[in-house]
């Protein structure tokens, strides 16, 4: 039976329209969008496609504020890797639940999680129970500190276990961490398995990373990955700040997607990706929050606001309008992750949508704005999201999360546990 939601505006492929509409939902699909509607609790709301996060570290949300004032490599080596290696099933599940609360309350309906080296099956279990649409990975690294790196053969076995645990709205993806933590053997094993369509890694993020002998010899990080068969339409490369001459053209020619994580690049002092140049070459660019310790928020609209501002510096204020940025976090992001039918507000599309309630002054401003889509994206979404639906199910409504399991432990208790474990690992690794 079709259920209906009456709203005071919609954001769809034609733009933002501030007038009453009634959205009909049948099962997991949008069946109708009709002008008019006068009853219900959401007549002050604007219905929009749900946002899709193409690069997240759900297991790191517990580490928010615990890895400050460092550049990428010491940030990883001194804080993130010891903390991640200290996860137990309960602390990881707690981190994932806390992540999903934040994501759903900010209008996220789909995501890719880079996972952890071990225990990613825990993440898959929480994702499946939550009802969100997701690509789940397990972080692959066979080079690095012995407390976190694992043999390539073991990593592939773990990948098979995590892949088998996926199902429903959760599918599997390969996620080698980055060039510095993966051997040629591991890259070869990944290249030999074309059955996994979605693949992702970090690339050309920070200046120190670019000094890696293999990257330097290849002529850049993108060339390094291209030589190892890790480019193509199903591949998402996070960051791409420090591209060598000719590498943007490789991205365009291979159909490799870039995931822009602007807050991370600023917080870690890595630089600013030149997104307008990539877009002009035909590179498909998405935007994402990355992890809480290098952003401190999992709010994709907030990341879009920063990305839009930075593009005015690296390009020009009018180079990319609001509609482009909206598609980068909805339709194009959904396509990048293989979420067929998601990322749009139209009859026949997946019923993945968010209801935002702007203030009355904001409604008037939106109605007369020169670029209303951009203005809507620049609102504080976590303060205005009333409801988030995925496949027709309500996953968030006015502060409640009807599908999320409770976290196994409190956040403070879980943080104390990983901090204690990380302290032991860090002390053990000192010379």
Q: Would you say the C-alpha torsion 152, 180, 294, 420 has a positive or negative sign?
A: positive
Residue by residue, what is the 3-state secondary structure of 373-392?
Answer: HHHHHCCCHHHCEEEEEECC
HSE, side-chain direction, 13 A CA sphere, residue 369: 21
Reported as type and span, the H/E element at residue 285 is strand 285-287
Q: pLDDT by residue (tens digit) across 39-53?
A: 889 999 999 999 999
Specify the pTM.
0.98
pLDDT for the residue 38:
81
Cα–Cα distances (Å) from 372 to 20, 100, 122, 276, 381, in that order, read: 17, 28, 41, 21, 15
How much is the pLDDT for 39?
84
Please report the pLDDT score of residue 430 as a whole number. 54
Closest by Cα among 161, 216, 227, 164 to 191: 227
CA distance 417 to 431: 24
Contact assessment for residue 94 and residue 414, using Cβ atoms and an 8 Å cutoff: yes
Position 37 scores a pLDDT of 83
CATH (residue range 51-336): 3.20.20.140
What does the pLDDT look like over 298-320, one tens digit per residue? 999 999 999 999 999 999 998 89
Q: Where are the domains of the chain?
A: 3-49+345-397, 51-336
Tokens of 138: 């397990």
* Tokens read off for 313: 């510096």
Residue 121: what are its φ and ψ, rounded to 5°? -60, -30
> Which residues, at least 6 apart from 71, have a Cβ–Cβ distance to it below 8 Å?
206, 208, 268, 269, 270
| Phi (first) and psi of residue 213, to 5 degrees | -55, -40
Q: What is the pLDDT of residue 125?
A: 98
Residues of the chain with pLDDT under 50: none
Q: Is the domain defined by 3-49+345-397 classed in CATH 3.30.300.130?
A: no
Residue 73 CA to residue 179 CA, distance in Å, equals: 12
């Amino acid at each position: 039976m079709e259920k209906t939601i009456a709203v005071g505006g919609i954001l769809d492929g034609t733009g933002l329209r501030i007038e009453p509409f009634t959205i009909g939902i049948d099962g997991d699909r949008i069946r109708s969008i009709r002008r008019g509607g006068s009853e219900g609790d959401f007549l002050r709301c604007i219905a929009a496609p749900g946002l899709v996060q193409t690069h997240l570290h759900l297991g790191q949300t517990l580490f928010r504020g615990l890895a400050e004032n460092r550049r990428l490599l010491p940030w990883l080596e001194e804080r993130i890797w010891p903390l991640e290696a200290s996860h137990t099933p309960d602390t990881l599940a707690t981190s994932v639940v806390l992540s999903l609360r934040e994501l759903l309350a900010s209008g996220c309906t789909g995501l890719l999680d880079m996972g952890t080296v071990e225990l990613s099956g825990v993440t898959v279990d929480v994702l499946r129970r939550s009802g969100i649409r997701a690509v789940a990975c397990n972080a692959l690294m066979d080079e690095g500190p012995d407390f976190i790196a694992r043999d390539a053969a073991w990593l592939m076995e773990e990948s098979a276990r995590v892949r088998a645990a996926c199902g429903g709205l959760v599918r599997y993806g390969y996620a080698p961490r980055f060039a510095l933590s993966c051997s040629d053997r591991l890259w070869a094993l990944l290249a030999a398995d074309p059955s996994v369509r979605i693949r992702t890694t970090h690339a050309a993020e920070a200046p120190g990373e670019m000094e890696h002998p293999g990257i330097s010899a290849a002529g850049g990080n993108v060339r390094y990955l291209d030589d190892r068969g890790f480019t193509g339409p199903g591949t998402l490369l996070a960051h791409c700040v420090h591209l060598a001459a000719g590498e943007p053209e490789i991205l365009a020619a291979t159909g490799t997607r870039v995931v822009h994580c602007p807050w991370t690049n600023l917080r870690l002092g890595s630089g600013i990706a030149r997104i307008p140049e990539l877009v002009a070459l035909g590179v498909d660019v998405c935007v994402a929050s990355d992890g809480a310790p290098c952003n401190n928020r999992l709010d994709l609209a907030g990341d879009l606001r920063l990305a839009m501002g930075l593009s005015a510096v690296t390009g020009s204020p009018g180079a990319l309008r609001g509609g482009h940025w909206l598609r980068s976090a909805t339709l194009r992001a959904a396509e990048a992750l293989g979420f067929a039918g998601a990322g749009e507000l139209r009859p026949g599309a997946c019923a993945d949508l968010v209801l935002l309630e702007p203030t009355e002054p904001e409604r008037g401003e939106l109605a007369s704005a020169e670029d209303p889509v951009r203005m809507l994206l620049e609102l504080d979404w976590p303060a205005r999201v009333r409801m988030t639906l995925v496949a027709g199910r309500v996953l968030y409504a006015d502060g409640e999360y009807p599908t999320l399991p409770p976290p196994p432990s409190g956040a403070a208790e879980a943080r104390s546990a990983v901090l204690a474990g990380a302290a032991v690992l860090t002390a053990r690794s000192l010379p």
